[in-house]
Amino acid sequence: MKNLHPFKKLSKNFYTRSLLVVAKELLGKILVKKEGRILLAGEIVEVEAYDGLTDEAAHTFIGRTKRNEIMFNEGGYFYVYFTYGAHFCCNIVTGKKDHGTAVLIRAVEPLTGIEKMALNRYNKLILTEKEKHNLTSGPGKVCEAFNITKEHYGIDLTGDQIFLLDRPKLKKNDIEVSKRVGIKKSIDLPWRFYIKNNPYISRK
């Protein structure tokens, strides 16, 4: 998909709706990052929802801190955090002011700027088949491929640096629901959503 022009940037009112509605509708949308002339883009294929009110796994469950404060804004901001001493993960803030809800982007399917993603991840242009499918199949991998770091914390997604493009809503039948990955609290909430049979899903 070379030409992204036909697709319109998602506006504020997409993000300010409630967490689970936004989480499911984010599937199929296109994540875009502009680095000067270079355009990086990928279709969102896997997400997880986090809600500080009731969900012990959410970073906002403990209340407001310096790290999570952007999650208490209204929807439409980018929440980036660092974890395990190695990886950044990025989230889309949702809902109204003070909700403390966000959607973790767990995997995307590369569309544009794939060579730059290959350089960011592997420091080379030619990838094996295995490496191609490993490019963006996890939350830390997405941030490494897109070079998303703490510098991008709090970015307004209605701006021109990082934003999402609209695409038709997926059929309910194309969406798989499961428990979330890699958490130790509130483990039974069915708040992971991914596109059925997509090769870039982080795990079965």
Partner DNA sequence: ATCAAGATTACCT
Partner DNA sequence: GGTAATCTTGATA
Binding to DNA by residue 118, rule CB under 7 A? no
Task: Restricting to residues 51-80, name those near DNA by CB under 7 A.
Answer: 57-60, 62-63, 65-68, 71, 79
Which residue blocks in the chain are alpha helix, DSSP H? 12-15, 19-26, 114-122, 129-133, 139-146
Nearest partner of 94 among 60, 146, 44, 51, judged by Cα? 51
Site string for DNA, 32-51 (x = CB under 7 A): ----------------x-x-
Min CB(110)–DNA separation in Å: 14
Nearest partner of 79 among 100, 53, 107, 96, judged by Cα? 100
**Which range binds DNA by CB under 7 A, 17-25, 29-37, 177-185, 190-198?**
177-185
Phi and psi for 140 in degrees, rounded to 5?
A: -70, -35
Question: Dihedral sign, CA of 86, 76, 95, 198?
Answer: negative
Nearer to DNA, 83 or 161 (CB): 83
Rg (C-alpha) for the chain, rounded Å, is 16
Instruction: By CB under 7 A, name the one of 132, 133, 140, 175 that touches DNA.
Output: 140
Binding to DNA by residue 102, rule CB under 7 A? yes
- Site for DNA, rule CB under 7 A: 48, 50, 57-60, 62-63, 65-68, 71, 79, 81-87, 89, 91, 102, 104, 121, 134, 138-142, 150, 180-185, 202
